[in-house]
Amino acid sequence: SNVMVMAESTVLEDIDTGKVERQCRYFKAKVLDDHKAEGTDQTFVDAIDGERTIVFTDKCTSYVNIADYVEIHVTEKSNGQTTKETLKWVHIAISNAKRNFTGTYHKIKKKYLQLYLNEFVYKLNRRYFGERIFDRLLIASITANGH
């Protein structure tokens, strides 16, 4: 199945060493019907927060229009270096999801894949909530009534 995985990250630089890292916070995953740019574009537009966004992607041909929706779009050929650096968190999330699914479920039907991804991403995005989880649940339930 075609799945688009997005990770929101913040660049952090250690002042003493100058080492640059990316801290990752939120993820999104969406099952796509095909690899065409139209579906990718719509998924992407629904996921971003305005035009003041910098996006890093591999050179997949589905991402040709992304530059129209963001401030900066950087593409890099997918290789070992981009897997370990630029797109590190996306690849970690994908491998963790695969490990989670194969360890928990025996078989996943394509029509339910989005539900499994939703559950995985929901848990992943709340990994740092700790004791605030109940308060966040209340806020989410109150604000969701209007949608």
**What are the DSSP calls for the chain, one per residue?**
-EEEEEEEEEEEE-TTT--EEEEEEEEEEEEESSS-HHHHHHHHHHHS-SS--EEEEE--GGGTTGGGTSSEEEEE--SHHHHHTTTHHHHHHHHHHHHHHHHH-S---GGGHHHHHHHHHHHHHTTT-GGGHHHHHHHHHHHHTT-
pTM of the model: 0.72
Average pLDDT per consecutive 10 residues, the chain (147 residues; last block may be shorter): 85 73 82 87 83 82 86 84 80 90 84 92 82 77 69
Residue 146, pLDDT score = 53
Structural domains in the chain, sorted by start? 2-144 (3.30.420)
Residue 145, pLDDT score = 60
